[in-house]
Amino acid sequence: MIKVENLVKAFGPKLAVNGVSFTVERGEVLGFLGPNGAGKSTTMRMITGFIPPTGGRITVGGYDMVENPIPAKRLIGYLPENAPAYTDMTVEGFLGFAAELRGLRGEAKKRAIGRAVEMCFLENVLYQSVDTLSKGYRHRTCFAQSIIHDPDILVLDEPTDGLDPNQKHEVRTLIRRMGEKKAIVFSTHILEEVDAACTRAIIIDRGQIVANGTPTELRQRSELAGAVTLRIADADAGTVGQKVRDLPVVRRSEVLDNNGAVVRVRAFPQPTVKNGDLERSLYELAVREKWRLLELKVEEGRLDEVFRSITMPDTKRRVEEGTK
Ligand X SMILES: Nc1ncnc2c1ncn2[C@@H]1O[C@H](COP(=O)(O)OP(=O)(O)O)[C@@H](O)[C@H]1O
Residue number, 152 or 157, with CB nearest to ligand X: 157
* 36 touches, from Mg ion, ligand X, other proteins, none (C-beta below 5 to 8 Å by class): ligand X
Residue 3-42 contact track with other proteins, rule CB under 8 A, x = bound: ------xxxx-------------x----------------
* β pairing state of 262-269 and 153-157: unpaired
Determine how many CB atoms are found less than 10 A away from the CB of residue 212.
Answer: 15
Residue number, 99 or 203, with CB nearest to ligand X: 203
Neighbouring-strand partners of residue 76: 153
Q: Nearest approach, Cβ of 9 to other proteins (angstroms)? A: 7
Dist CA 22 CA 309 (whole Å): 22
Residue number, 98 or 198, with CB nearest to other proteins: 98
How many residues of this chain bind other proteins (CB under 8 A)? 47
Of residues 78 through 107, those in contact with Mg ion by CB under 5 A are 81
* 209 touches, from ligand X, Mg ion, other proteins, none (C-beta below 5 to 8 Å by class): none
List the 76-79 sheet strands across, edge first. 76-79, 153-157, 183-188, 29-33, 200-205, 208-213
Determine how many CB atoms are found less than 10 A away from the CB of residue 257.
Answer: 10
Kindly state the helix (H) or strand (E) to which residue 219 belongs, with its residue range: helix 215-219
CA triple 208-214-220, angle to 5 deg: 90
Residue 95-134 contact track with other proteins, rule CB under 8 A, x = bound: --xx-xxxxxx--x--------------------------
Dist CA 215 CA 198 (whole Å): 8
* 160 touches, from ligand X, other proteins, Mg ion, none (C-beta below 5 to 8 Å by class): none
Dist CA 203 CA 206 (whole Å): 10
Q: Nearest approach, Cβ of 312 to other proteins (angstroms)? A: 28
SS3 of residue 55 by DSSP: strand
**DSSP class of 274:** P
87 contact partners, CB below 8 Å, separation of at least 6: 129, 130, 131
Residue number, 36 or 272, with CB nearest to ligand X: 36
- 24, 85, 147, 178: residue in contact with other proteins (rule CB under 8 A): 85
Radius of gyration of the CA atoms of the chain, in A: 25
Per rule CB under 5 A, is residue 41 in the interface with Mg ion?
A: yes
Binding site for Mg ion (CB under 5 A): 40-41, 81
Binding site for other proteins (CB under 8 A): 1, 9-12, 26, 45, 48-52, 59, 61-63, 69-71, 73-76, 78, 80-82, 84-89, 93, 97-98, 100-105, 108, 142, 145, 149, 152
